Amino acid sequence: MKNNKGFTQVGIIIALIAALIVGGGVVYLATKTPTPSSQNTQDNNYQPSVDQNQNPSTTTNTTTNTNTTQNPQTGCNSNSPASVKIISPNGGEAFSVGGQLPITWSQCNIHGSGTAITIALSRYDLSGKEISPWAPITPSVLLAGNSYTYTIPTALQVGSNTINFADPNVKYRAHIEIITKVFEQGTPDFVQDDSDNFFTINSSTPTSITVTSPKGGENWALGTTKIINWNSNTSDCPAGTTNCSNSVDITLNEYYTQAPCSGICPSIRGPFTYTIAKNVQASSYSWLVGRIGEKNNVVQDSRYTIQVCLVGGSVCDSSDNAFIVHY
């Protein structure tokens, strides 16, 4: 009985150990999460390779158009319509009479030869109302490249109108027209553009006039013909115009000498001023000495100076000293 009892105890111990082993395995298997295989991971993140490459033309074409046929600065590509775009002046700039006005532009799909480019300055008053006429810079000329430099004159004659670029009450926009007479499709392109906003042109230096003859000390006989000369930093008026802003009036101012004096006697301007000519559109005038006014009256022999003034009397100059008119 002793021995049997011992075997029984040993059997129980063995059974317990076996139960622990089996139970632990079950718990382990029940609580352990299986690690997915590499195939399963690929299946969870799957993107159909066929769909990715099914229609690659969209991406390829977009890249091609951007990098090979489109200009990234102008947005021009082979499918864009013909156009021109003014780069400068595009608004806000200030230029000066006598200085240079650089005009630059870009153009898109302007084809063929015989391209005529017209550049003009459209004019506006200070309220923004357009003023006629425009100031043409290049009347339908053939230009190479995308730029043109214009030297700004004081005035420009357009038909019967004189455009004064020094007028502070006027502002401008650049205007470009391009006509391609011959190109691939067989019909002409016509494109145009204007500056986005206004720019200004100012007078760089004050207007001035300098009488160069007579300067003083000359002896001019009555009835002879003498030339009165002057210089001006304004442009001469074109022939045939009237009331030009650069026209001048010429007057004869009498002087007298204080007595007694010795040597070079100073001249003092007298009370009398005579009109020689009005609205003269040149830089010289041929004068029949002594003749004054519309009735061609004749002055007496005396000392005089010549005065030349822009019409309106705002800018004038006179002989440096008196000259003598005599019989």
Asked if the model's pLDDT at residue 194 lies above 50, the reply is yes
Clarify whether residues 108 and 78 are in a common domain: yes
pLDDT band at 215 (very low <50, low <70, confident <90, very high): very high
Structural Rg of the chain based on CA atoms: 47
244, 233, 279: which is closest to 162 by C-alpha? 244
Residue 97 near residue 201, CB atoms below 8 Å: yes
Is the preceding omega at residue 56 within 30 degrees of 0, hence cis? no
Tokens of 271: 């009370």
Q: What is the mean pLDDT of residues 250-261?
A: 75
Neighbours of 70 (CB within 10 A): 16
pLDDT of residue 46: 33
Flag whether 150 is in a domain: yes
pLDDT of residue 143: 63
Full DSSP string of 59-102: HHHHHHIIIII--TTT---TTSPPEEEEEES-SS-EEETTSEEE
Clarify whether residues 168 and 230 are in a common domain: no
| Domain hosting residue 89, numbered range | 74-202
Q: Would you say how long the chain is, in residues?
A: 327
Q: What is the mean pLDDT of residues 50-76?
A: 45
Q: What end-to-end distance do the CA atoms of the chain give, in Å?
A: 183
CATH code of 303's domain: 2.60.40
Distances (CA, A) of 87 to 174, 193, 198, 228: 10, 10, 13, 48
pLDDT of residue 308: 92
Vertex 148 angle, CA 143 and 151, to 5°: 130
pLDDT of residue 91: 92
Name the residue with tokens 């000392």. Answer: 303
Tokens of 309: 């003034």
Clarify whether residues 189 and 215 are in a common domain: no
pLDDT of residue 51: 41
CATH code of 191's domain: 2.60.40.1930
Flag whether 172 is in a domain: yes
pLDDT of residue 128: 92
Clarify whether residues 218 and 318 are in a common domain: yes
Residues 163-193: tens digit of each pLDDT: 989 888 899 999 988 876 544 455 556 889 9
More confident residue, 262 or 292: 292
Alpha-helix runs per DSSP H in the chain:
2-31, 38-44, 49-52, 57-64
* Count of structural domains, the chain: 2
pLDDT of residue 31: 42
pLDDT of residue 83: 85
Clarify whether residues 187 and 244 are in a common domain: no
Asked if the model's pLDDT at residue 262 lies above 60, the reply is no
Asked if the model's pLDDT at residue 53 lies above 50, the reply is no
Q: What is the pTM of this model?
A: 0.42
Which residues make Cβ contacts (< 8 Å) with residue 299, sequence separation at least 6? 252, 254, 274, 290, 292, 325
Clarify whether residues 103 and 196 are in a common domain: yes
Asked if the model's pLDDT at residue 319 lies above 80, the reply is yes
Residues 135-168: tens digit of each pLDDT: 888 866 666 678 888 989 988 888 888 898 988 8
pLDDT of residue 69: 52
Residues 83-123: tens digit of each pLDDT: 889 999 999 998 888 888 999 988 887 765 556 788 999 99
Clarify whether residues 118 and 188 are in a common domain: yes
Flag whether 235 is in a domain: yes
Distance (Å, whole) CA 284 – CA 299: 21
Asked if the model's pLDDT at residue 13 lies above 90, the reply is no
More confident residue, 200 or 179: 200
Clarify whether residues 112 and 229 are in a common domain: no
Clarify whether residues 107 and 84 are in a common domain: yes
Clarify whether residues 235 and 280 are in a common domain: yes
Residue 201 near residue 96, CB atoms below 8 Å: yes
161 phi, psi to nearest 5 deg = -105, 140
Which of 161, 180, 202 is a domain's end point? Answer: 202
Which of 202, 229, 256 is a domain's end point? Answer: 202
Q: What is the mean pLDDT of residues 246-254?
A: 88
Which residues make Cβ contacts (< 8 Å) with residue 116, sequence separation at least 6? 140, 141, 142, 178, 179, 180, 181
What element of type H or E holds 251? Answer: strand 248-257
Clarify whether residues 107 and 162 are in a common domain: yes
Flag whether 33 is in a domain: no
Tally of CA atoms within 13 A in the half-sphere of 73 that contains its CB: 6
Flag whether 14 is in a domain: no
Tokens of 83: 């156009």
Tokens of 82: 């013909």
Clarify whether residues 84 and 187 are in a common domain: yes
Which residues make Cβ contacts (< 8 Å) with residue 53, sequence separation at least 6? none
Neighbours of 215 (CB within 10 A): 15
- To the nearest whole number, what is the mean pLDDT of the chain? 74
pLDDT band at 199 (very low <50, low <70, confident <90, very high): very high
Handedness of CA 130, 204, 193, 180 (dihedral sign): positive
Q: What is the mean pLDDT of residues 7-30?
A: 49
